[in-house]
Each structure stands twice: as C-alpha cells, then as structure tokens.
C-alpha cells in the first residue's frame, strides 16, 4: 500500500557528514576531499556537471570547518579584507567567471590570488566548485592560473539511482513525509537523473499532495513529472 503521512510542519534541511550519502558517483570525490583536508595543500577544485552534487559536498565541508561560501559573482563587490579574515573559503561556480565583464574578471582574479596567498601563509583552505577545469576559465592573471592549475581535482559524476533514491528519501523525511519505497522506485525510472530535478520533484509532490489532500502515489508521481517536463532519456 502506498502511504504518506502529511504534516504541515516547518521544513528543516540539514546536510551533515552522517546525512551525506555515498555511492560510486561521489565516493572518489569524498576520499579526495578528506585526504586534502589532512594535507597542507591550499586549494582543491570539485569538478562535475550541473546537478552532480558539488554544492552538497561543499556544504558538508563548510559544516565541518565553519567556512564561508561565496558565489563567484559576489566577489565583484565583496571587500577583500573581509575575505582575508576567513580561514576556510568556498568559491562556487568559478567557471562562470567567463560570463562576467573583463573589468569584473580582472577584479575577481586579483582578489582570489590575494586570498589564495593569504590562505597559504595561514594554513587555510580554498575549496572551488566548477563544471569545467581551470584551463577553460580564461584566467588572464598568470600567477593565479598557475596556482589553480596546481590544485588537486576531485571529479563528480551524475548521481546514480541509489544515491538519488537516498537523497529523495531524506528530502521527504525533512518534510516529515513518509513515502513508500515502491513510489520512490517508480520515480527513479522516470525522472531526470539530477539532484536539482529530485529537489524540484519532492517540492512539487509535497505541494500537490497537500493541495489535493491525498497521499503521494505512483499516479501523482507520473502527473508531476509530466508537469515538470523532464523525463529520463532512454539509453
């Protein structure tokens, strides 16, 4: 029987080490992150396609280190002196620097180099996420490029079904909703394989179930996936 307990309570999302699910899609990146944290190398770059879980992994690291996360575009207006006070920093989506103006790129490159050198001196760490490798970012500041090219790389692939099912189950639990494994399995073979779509699917299923005042069923999964317009491609 497909059952769901719907409780209209506050939603609390957490992402600690214990709640981060490991599979073949991310196990190498996690080992690399752990090894890097134990060594003296300043920089690590997590590279993976969109929705492969880069932000999830960076969030685990931030929770463990007390670090601060910045989107690359935020650095344009951010005071570098404030950045220099941090010992553990994440810069998200650094590959997007190529979308900014030349003046903005130049300013960001100078700031990152300054921060990198400061972290090296203080024993801090700089974690970077991106969808491509540093040689594709059109970095013009040679000193910065050389440092980025020397960073260790942790690659992520798209999540496999086991990881996606675990993540979706956790998101339902965070919303105090119980959904049967059969319904989760039904969604797995029909949905787009990405963390971002899994999140959208859970959110939409939650809201629709509340709207119609019915449990989350296979039929509702089909309807919501169809409405979101993203089904898994046949391989």
* pLDDT tens by residue, 106-165: 999 999 999 999 999 999 999 999 999 999 999 999 999 999 999 999 998 878 888 889
Count of the separate structural domains present in the chain: 2
Q: Residue 202 burial (CB < 10 Å; 0-12/13-18/19+)?
A: buried
Domain boundary among 155, 187, 206: 155
Instruction: Tell me the C-alpha to C-alpha distance, in Å, between residue 63 and each of 17, 111, 117, 177.
Output: 8, 24, 24, 25
Per the prediction, the chain carries an average pLDDT of 87
> Do 129 and 50 share a domain, yes or no?
yes
User: Could you read off the pLDDT of 57-112 as tens digits, one per residue?
Assistant: 898 899 889 999 999 999 999 898 988 999 999 999 999 999 999 999 999 999 99
User: Could you read off the pLDDT of 35-64 as tens digits, one per residue?
Assistant: 897 788 999 999 998 878 888 889 889 988
> Do 82 and 167 share a domain, yes or no?
no
Residue 172 predicted with pLDDT over 70: yes
> Do 141 and 91 share a domain, yes or no?
yes
> Do 224 and 108 share a domain, yes or no?
no
Residue 1 maps to a domain: no
């Amino acid at each position: 029987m497909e059952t769901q307990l719907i409780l209209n309570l506050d939603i609390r999302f957490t992402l600690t080490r214990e709640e981060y699910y490991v599979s073949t899609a991310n196990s190498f990146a996690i080992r690399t992150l752990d090894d890097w944290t134990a060594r003296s190398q300043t920089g690590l770059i997590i590279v993976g396609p969109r929705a492969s879980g880069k932000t999830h992994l960076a969030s685990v690291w931030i929770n463990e280190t007390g670090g601060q996360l910045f989107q690359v575009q935020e650095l344009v207006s951010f005071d570098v002196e404030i950045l220099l006070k941090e010992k553990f920093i994440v810069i998200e989506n650094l590959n997007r620097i190529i979308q900014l103006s030349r003046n903005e790129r130049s300013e960001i490159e100078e700031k990152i180099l300054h921060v990198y050198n400061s972290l090296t001196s203080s024993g801090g760490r700089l974690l970077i996420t991106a969808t491509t490798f540093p040689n594709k970012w059109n970095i013009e500041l040679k000193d910065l490029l050389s440092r980025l090219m020397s960073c260790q790389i942790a690659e992520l692939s798209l999540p496999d079904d086991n990881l996606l099912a675990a993540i979706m189950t956790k998101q339902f639990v965070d919303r105090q909703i119980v959904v049967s494994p059969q319904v989760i399995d039904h969604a797995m073979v029909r949905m787009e394989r990405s963390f971002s779509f899994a999140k959208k699917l859970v959110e939409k299923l939650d809201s629709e179930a509340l709207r119609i005042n019915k449990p989350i069923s296979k039929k509702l999964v089909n309807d919501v996936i169809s409405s979101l317009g993203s089904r898994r491609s046949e391989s």
